[in-house]
Amino acid sequence: MKKLIFMMCCVAGATALNSCSDDDSTSGSGDYTYKVRMTDAPGPYSAVNIDIQSVVIVDGEGNTVALDADTGVHNLLDLTNGADMMLASRNLEDNQVSQIKIGLGTNNTVVVDGVSRPLTFNSADGAGLTINVNQTLDADDDTEVLIDFDANASVQSTGTNTYKLVPVIKTIDTSITGSISGNTDNTSLAIVTATSVTSQIYNTSINSSGNFKLQGLPPGSYTLTVTPILPLLPSTQSNIAVQAGQNTVANNIVF
C-alpha cells in the first residue's frame, strides 16, 4: 500500500543479501555508537512474522561488522502507529557506514483469516536484505537509524494461500522529517494517503484502534485523504503543514 520513498541523504532499498566477508571486525569497543531501530506501517494481516537472524553493517573500508541484534521472530504488526523497537546496536571503530544488512531465517509467516501461512523466498532473493545508507557518524552523538519495514507491501500473494516475502523498506531520519497522525472511529482498514505539493505520495492504513501515523515526511504542505471501505466516502483535508522533527495531528476525520 505504501510507496517506497527515499529519505535522508541515502538510498534505501530491499535487495538480495549476499554472503558477508570473512574479515568481520571482532572488536566490541569504539568511538561511534550506532543503533538500528525498526518500525512498520499497518497492513491487512493479523500478523507478519519475520525471522531476523543477524544485523551487520559494512563500514567505509568495506569490512562487515556484526551488531548486537535482537534476533528471533518479530511480528511487524506490533510496530505500527509510531511504535518501534531497538533492533541492534554497537560501538563502531570506523565513522563510515555504507550499508546495513539484515539476515533473515526461514521461519517467516503471515496470518491471514486466523491461519498461519509460510512466507517464502525464491532463490534469487537470497537470505535477507541490504540497505544502502552511506552515513558519516559523529563521535559526540549516538547515531540511530529508523528502518520502516512495510509489512503490507512486503507480502505478495503468489496463489491460493501461498505468500512470498519481498522486503520493502525505507529509512527515516526523524531530525529532518516530520509526521502526520490521526484517529477515526472507523477501524475497517481505511487507507491513508498524504500527497505533497510536488506530488510525492505516502501511504499507510488505519490500525484496529482507528489510529494511523505517517512518518518520514519531508517538511511542507500535504493533502491528507482517508479512504474507508465502501459505501463510505473518503475524507480529505488540505494544507496540512509538516515540520522537521515534529508530528502534526489531523483532527476531524469523519466519513
Question: Which CATH number characterizes residue 186's domain?
Answer: 2.60.40.1120
Q: Which neighbouring-strand residues pair with 111?
A: 47, 116
Q: What is the pLDDT of residue 21?
A: 35
Q: Phi-psi category of 202—alpha, beta or left, where left has phi over 0 and alpha has psi -120 to 50? A: beta
Contact 252, 181 (CB under 8 A): no
Q: What is the pLDDT of residue 4?
A: 22
Contact 2, 150 (CB under 8 A): yes
Pull the grid cell for residue 16. Answer: 538480495
Q: Do 159 and 76 have their domain in common?
A: yes
Element (H, E) at 88: strand 84-92
Q: Is 26 inside any structural domain?
A: no
Q: Do 163 and 182 have their domain in common?
A: no
Q: Do 188 and 243 have their domain in common?
A: yes
Domain end point (choices 172, 193, 227): 172
Determine the length of the chain. Answer: 255
Q: Do 167 and 183 have their domain in common?
A: no
Q: Do 65 and 87 have their domain in common?
A: yes
- The shares of helix, strand and coil residues in the chain, as percent rounded to the nearest 5, are 5, 55, 40
Q: Which residue ranges of the chain lie beneath pLDDT 50?
A: 1-28, 123
User: What is the Cα–Cα distance from 4 to 129, expressed in whole angstroms?
Assistant: 15
Q: What is the pLDDT of residue 30?
A: 65
Q: Is 6 inside any structural domain?
A: no
Contact 85, 77 (CB under 8 A): no
Question: How many domains does the structure of the chain reveal?
Answer: 2
Q: Do 209 and 144 have their domain in common?
A: no
Q: Do 100 and 185 have their domain in common?
A: no
Q: Is 255 inside any structural domain?
A: no
Pull the grid cell for residue 105. Answer: 531465517
Q: Do 53 and 153 have their domain in common?
A: yes
Domain end point (choices 155, 172, 189): 172
Let me know the angle formed at the C-alpha of 130 by 44 and 94, rounded to the nearest 5 degrees.
135
Q: Do 143 and 199 have their domain in common?
A: no
Q: What is the pLDDT of residue 198?
A: 93
104-138 residue pLDDT tens: 888 999 988 889 999 886 645 556 688 888 888 88
Q: Is 205 inside any structural domain?
A: yes
Pull the grid cell for residue 253. Answer: 476525520
Q: Do 226 and 137 have their domain in common?
A: no
Q: Is 18 inside any structural domain?
A: no
Look at the alpha carbons of 44, 178, 6, 10 in this order and tell me if their dihedral is positive or negative.
negative
Q: Which domain holds residue 227?
A: 178-250
Q: Do 218 and 189 have their domain in common?
A: yes
Q: Which neighbouring-strand residues pair with 38?
A: 85, 147
Element (H, E) at 49: strand 47-59
Q: Do 39 and 133 have their domain in common?
A: yes
